Structure 1
Amino acid sequence: MRTVGVEEELLLVRSGSGQAISIAPQVLRRADLAAREHDADDDRPGPGHPAEAGSSLGGELQRQQVETDTAPHRTMEALGEELVAWRSHAEGAARREGARIAAIATSPLPVEPRAGESDRYRQIVERFGLTGSEQLTCGCHVHVSVDSDEEAVAVLDRIRVWLPVLLAVSANSPYWQGRDSGYASYRNQVMGRWPTAGPPDLFGSAEAYHRFVEDSVASGVAMDPGMVYLDARLSSSYPTLEFRVADVCQDVRDTVLLAALSRALVQATSARWRAGEPVPQVRTQMLRLATWQAARYGLSGELLDPVTSRPRPAADVLADLVEYVRPALEEYDDVALVTEGVARLLTDGTGADRQRREMERTGSLSDVVAAAVRTTHGLEGQDHDLTVAQLRA
């Protein structure tokens, strides 16, 4: 059974206003102290000091965000439990610093990002100018285990046409610097500024893929392999294929849905590769159009068909994805989870839809952030009228 791990980038927001706040170092110190105190009182590993490698809470490019990283899991239930635990652990540390944790992919309120303390982050900002200094976005990266680099590239060549659908599922960034961007995922537009970002080309072999990465670094544009920001790529740290196209999801159930679809895509396309089925011959330029369409409308309009590149209702394209991976979903016993998750998304909307509904209801971007905090921690069914000012406690 293929394992799945997830990295979530989360926004730190000030209690009482909802503005992004640059206190990641303080929050991480608080989280580490809490983990050590837990370990001193309990022999069982707690958040921050897990038994299994790959599970952690750390910093990111900007000080207004932190990143959680789960261990690899075989079941979606276990993955969901760890995602909830890390969000809770980060929230506990943030609250001690007068902040909250929000799973939103861009800050709805105006913000001036501040780069993290590492030399690499400072070099990125210095080298890439405004592209680096303005880059405050929160993504969700799903790692699915693969047997070899050859399998990973064969899968990458086949999943690339479905990546815009995963972006639409996760869309959660309609606001940018206090304004409605007009997009469901403006994070995707911001990521597009990077010279190494976007849909992957067809590679055909592991050798060709690694040559591309080497050439990108040798060009002097990409500082290192970690700066190859493709929408999906071979991980440089783990034996996994890394899906990078998605916004961070407000609702942890949507994160689990995204992970289940990603794993099923790897399993389904690997089976097609082994059976000798041909790769879909879709030009990268058309994938860029499909990605733009998904970023613009999410699931609220039309998506481009993965094969024909013609617009179709988003619900129909999403249904095609589920049908395409159904054998893998059945193999992993994830059919019910995905069916229910898709129905919930089509009924309740994406994170972008949630944000816009809250803005229409209250007229306040601060309350948009407050609602996102509630959803981040599974509280949306409680205290429905809670405002951001009431989140001080």
Structure 2
Amino acid sequence: MTRRRFGVEEELLLVDALDGHPVPAGSEVLVAAQERLGRERAHQVEHEFKLQQTEIGSAPCETADELLEQLTELRRAIAGAARELGVGIVAGATHPLPVRPVPTANDRYAHMADAFGMIARQQLTCGQHIHVDVESDEEGIGAIDRMAGWLSVIIALSANSPFWQGEDTGYSSYRTIAWGLWPTAGPTQPFRTVAGYRDAVDRLVASGTALDSGMIYFDARLSAKYPTVEVRVADVCTDVRDAVLVAVLVRALVETAAAEWRSGAELKEERIEMLRAGVWRAARSGLTEDLVDPRSGLPADAWTVVDALVEHVAEALAINGDRELVDAGIARLRRSGGGSERQRAVLARDGELAAVVLDAMRRTID
């Protein structure tokens, strides 16, 4: 059976390479990185909403090893270009230190800032977006509708943003909370058909709560540019191996959900309130406390729910040759507690948030 191709976009923070403070160097880093990558690959780095960010994107991949190689190479290429400017890159979903985000000069971004006020001004969050090939929009909607309940577990596995404006937020993924302020962000009820999905998008744009279809920030959506389902719930992961773990689990979720759709399996009606509760619980405690079990809607030990996710997608993992990688990745996260717990451990050890940033900068490209 042919593997579904998949790819990853990573939003990255730009920081002073010596002290870790945020640096609004997005335009300069973009030019330097595109020159380093060359004309054929220049499109794999882009500017982002704020100048303290940049974005990289892999090409479509068939295997986890290929994705790991691409993300590692891209991170190192961008880091090398940034280093010439005295800038480091950090795969962290929020910046631990106080920051006043500077918007990138762009008419659309300016319109967003004007229309959405503080929500737009304060946003400096970095996610990992996973694209998975689908054969048709119909298959894509069938998959989106059937995997919604499991996406909160992906949030917990990727949680990597405990700090915001110099404070410990008490959350494992505060990016999820901050990003959720956008009016079109978050989980969705079943669309059932492509027409139902398009109608929802059109009505949101017509309502003025989204400027255009590019501002449809659903947790999972049909990509506007590619024949893919795009899953947008994950924090960007500092350890590139964690990024690949999250990506292969999302690919397996899409494959499993698409197979259920093709078989005509009954669609489980998910209450939007429970989906939101699952997202909040995952953002709050990550892997350290209970999660909302998608099967029952009740609290359950986080690792029990993670194990349930792995078993739910076991057949797809086997088809893709990813089960060994997933088992190793889950074991690694059990030992470390995940990205947020690593950040908190560094703060406890060194006593300074700058040390958290510099540790993450090193691990982003190690």
Q: Identify whether the pair has TM-score above 0.5, normalized to the shorter chain.
A: yes
1:110-141 CA distances to partner (integer Å, 9 max, x unpaired)?
Answer: 00000012211111111111100110000000
Choose which of 44, 58, 66 in structure 1 pairs with 2:54.
66
Aligned counterpart, 1:18:
20
- C-alpha displacement at 1:277, in angstroms? 1.3
- The TM-score with structure 1 as length reference comes to 0.91
Aligned counterpart, 1:371:
359
Matches within 5 A, 1:179-190: 179-190=167-178
| Counterpart AA for 1:259 | A
Aligned counterpart, 1:39:
none
Choose which of 214, 223, 227 in structure 2 pairs with 1:239.
227
| Counterpart AA for 2:6 | V
1:75-116 CA distances to partner (integer Å, 9 max, x unpaired)?
Answer: 110111000011001101111111100000000000000001
Mapped pair 1:304 → 2:292:
yes
Aligned counterpart, 1:388:
none
CA distance in 2, matches of 1:273, 1:30: 45
Task: Calculate the aligned-residue CA RMSD, in Å.
Answer: 1.1
Contact 1:4–1:72 (CA<8 Å) still a contact in 2?
yes
Mapped pair 1:219 → 2:207:
yes
- C-alpha displacement at 1:55, in angstroms? 5.4
- The TM-score with structure 2 as length reference comes to 0.98
CA distance in 2, matches of 1:175, 1:61: 20
Matches within 5 A, 1:72-87: 72-87=60-75
Mapped pair 1:158 → 2:146:
yes
Q: Check 1:174–1:364 CA distance in 2 against 1; reply closer, same or farther (3 A cut).
A: same
CA distance in 1, matches of 2:258, 2:182: 30
Contact 2:155–2:235 (CA<8 Å) still a contact in 1?
yes
CA distance in 2, matches of 1:330, 1:339: 12
Aligned counterpart, 2:260:
272
Contact 2:189–2:270 (CA<8 Å) still a contact in 1?
no
Matches within 5 A, 1:1-393: 1-36=3-38, 49-50=40-41, 56-378=44-366
Q: Check 1:55–1:319 CA distance in 2 against 1; reply closer, same or farther (3 A cut).
A: farther
CA distance in 2, matches of 1:276, 1:249: 35
Contact 1:7–1:142 (CA<8 Å) still a contact in 2?
yes
CA distance in 2, matches of 1:261, 1:354: 22
- C-alpha displacement at 1:30, in angstroms? 1.2
Runs of 4+ in 1 over 4 A off after TM superposition: none
Unaligned runs of 5+ in 2: none
Counterpart of 1:60 in 2: which secondary structure?
A: coil
Unaligned runs of 5+ in 1: 37-47, 379-393
Q: Identity of counterpart residues, as a percentage?
A: 46
CA distance in 2, matches of 1:356, 1:306: 28
